[in-house]
Amino acid sequence: MAIVLGPNRYGKAETRVVRVTRDGGTHSITDLNVSVALSGDLADTHLTGDNANVLPTDTQKNTVYAFAKQHGIASPEAFALLLARHFTSSQETITGARVEIEEYPWNRLGPHSFSRDGSAVRTAEVVVAEPGTEVFGGLTGLTLLNSTDSEFSGFIRDPYTTLAETSDRILATAVDARWRFITPEADFDAVFGRARAAMIEAFTGTYSYSLQQTLFAMGKAVLEACPDLAEIRLRLPNKHHFVVDCTPYGLDAAPEVFHADDRPYGLIEGSVVRDDVS
Ligand SMILES: O=c1[nH]c(=O)c2[nH]c(=O)[nH]c2[nH]1
């Protein structure tokens, strides 16, 4: 029996970079959290401590800042592509790169003033590896709620089932979505806008008999709106809202007050794919 080194990668995680672009007195900002992970001919550093093949994580962080300055940030996907291609093409020992980016949204208050937007965080991931380059876009934390048009009934009842069937409930979730581009060439910003709008429209427009049904409707709407996408993966926490019984206080039973429960929560996950794309 031999003990050997398995798959490995290394990089600088969570470099926070804020890029200011000045157009006269009007400024724009892009606020990113960039994580780089590189792989390649890295056995020596693990087995003997010989670092001749290692591009320091400190250099990776500096490259993020330098590229933000030199090239600007067209979109999180484009910036991730730029970095991943740079690391794999400039260093012989580095053959794979994964760059993950979160973009935090800001709202404009004035020519050079902004307020942090609490809504969804945009995400991007680029993987450059032997078989080719893959680009993923997405978002996380898009919190949506329908106060009606949601039912849940007809489910399995076993000896442990206590859940009552309901023909009218609150349906709420915080969307975590990740979509895969068919090729690395696309209008990433346009796809982001269309995908986000399609998810919101499908969530609000679907009369829902389960969050699973809503998940499929949302994924299908995104693929219909975005021909550049091969696949979308969705993670939808079911943010339960339980009716508070106010009758002990001498009040009527109409369901108007809810307890927004924190945990546990149902977690509905699924992907929706185009069946003619690999
Ligand atoms: O939309 C739902 N799907 C479920 O699978 C489920 N399970 C549950 O308890 N409530 C719900 N709601």
How many other C-beta atoms can be found within 10 angstroms of the C-beta atom of residue 136? 20
Spatial distance between the Cα atoms of 25 and 149, rounded to a whole number of angstroms: 48
Cα 59 to ligand 1 centroid, rounded to whole Å: 48
- Atom of ligand 1 lying closest to residue 214 CA: 1
pLDDT of 216 reads 98
- Atom of ligand 1 lying closest to residue 211 CA: 1
Q: Tell me which residue has tokens 């709202």.
A: 107
Pairing status of strand 266-273 against strand 229-238: antiparallel
pLDDT of 241 reads 98
Beta-carbon contacts of residue 177 (< 8 Å; ≥ 6 apart): 138, 139, 140, 142, 195, 199, 218, 222, 232, 233, 234, 235
3-class SS at 199?
helix
CA angle 53, 92, 66 (to 5 degrees): 85
Ligand 1 pocket, residues with Cβ under 6 angstroms: 152, 163, 210-212, 238, 266
Nearest Cα to Cα of residue 272 among 179, 134, 203, 143: 179
Q: Confirm or deny that 212 is annotated as ligand binding.
A: yes
Tokens of 27: 């400024």
Spatial distance between the Cα atoms of 39 and 251, rounded to a whole number of angstroms: 64
Where do the domains of the chain lie?
8-130, 137-278
Tokens of 50: 């010989």
Cα 242 to ligand 1 centroid, rounded to whole Å: 13
pLDDT of 278 reads 76
Tokens of 148: 């009606």
- Ligand 1 pocket check: which of 166, 203, 236, 238 to mutate, most ligand atoms within 8 Å of Cβ? 238
Cα 146 to ligand 1 centroid, rounded to whole Å: 15
pLDDT of 29 reads 98
pLDDT of 277 reads 86
How many other C-beta atoms can be found within 10 angstroms of the C-beta atom of residue 66? 12
> 137-278 maps to which CATH number?
3.10.270.10
Beta-carbon contacts of residue 174 (< 8 Å; ≥ 6 apart): 140, 141, 142, 143, 144, 236, 237, 239
- Atom of ligand 1 lying closest to residue 240 CA: 10
pLDDT of 259 reads 98
- Say if CB 98 and CB 84 are below 8 A apart: yes
Interface pTM, i.e. ipTM: 0.99
Q: Confirm or deny that 169 is annotated as ligand binding.
A: yes
Among protein residues, the one with the nearest Cα to ligand 1's atom 8 is: 266
- pLDDT tens for each residue of the chain, 278 residues long: 999 999 999 999 999 999 999 999 999 999 999 999 999 999 999 999 999 999 999 999 999 999 999 999 999 999 999 999 999 999 999 999 999 999 999 999 999 999 999 889 999 999 999 889 999 999 999 999 999 999 999 999 999 999 999 999 999 999 999 999 999 999 999 999 999 999 999 999 999 999 999 999 999 999 999 999 999 999 999 999 999 999 999 999 999 999 999 999 999 999 999 998 87
Active site residue 112: no
pLDDT of 55 reads 98
Cα 110 to ligand 1 centroid, rounded to whole Å: 44
> What residues form DSSP beta bridges with 32?
17, 103
Pairing status of strand 171-181 against strand 113-116: unpaired
pLDDT of 163 reads 98
What's phi and psi for 44, nearest 5 deg?
Answer: -60, -45
Nearest Cα to Cα of residue 163 among 152, 148, 173, 172: 152
Per DSSP, helices labelled H in 181-210 are: 188-205
Active site residue 57: yes
CATH topology agreement for domains 8-130 and 137-278: yes
pLDDT of 190 reads 98
pLDDT of 120 reads 97
Instruction: Give 8-130's CATH code, choosing from 3.10.270.10, 3.90.550.10, 3.30.160.40, 3.90.25.10.
Output: 3.10.270.10
pLDDT of 131 reads 87
pLDDT of 141 reads 98
Cα 163 to ligand 1 centroid, rounded to whole Å: 9
Spatial distance between the Cα atoms of 24 and 189, rounded to a whole number of angstroms: 24
Active site residue 12: yes
- Ligand 1 pocket check: which of 152, 160, 268 to mutate, most ligand atoms within 8 Å of Cβ? 152
> Of these residues, 61, 86, 239, 240, which one is catalytic?
240
pLDDT of 142 reads 98
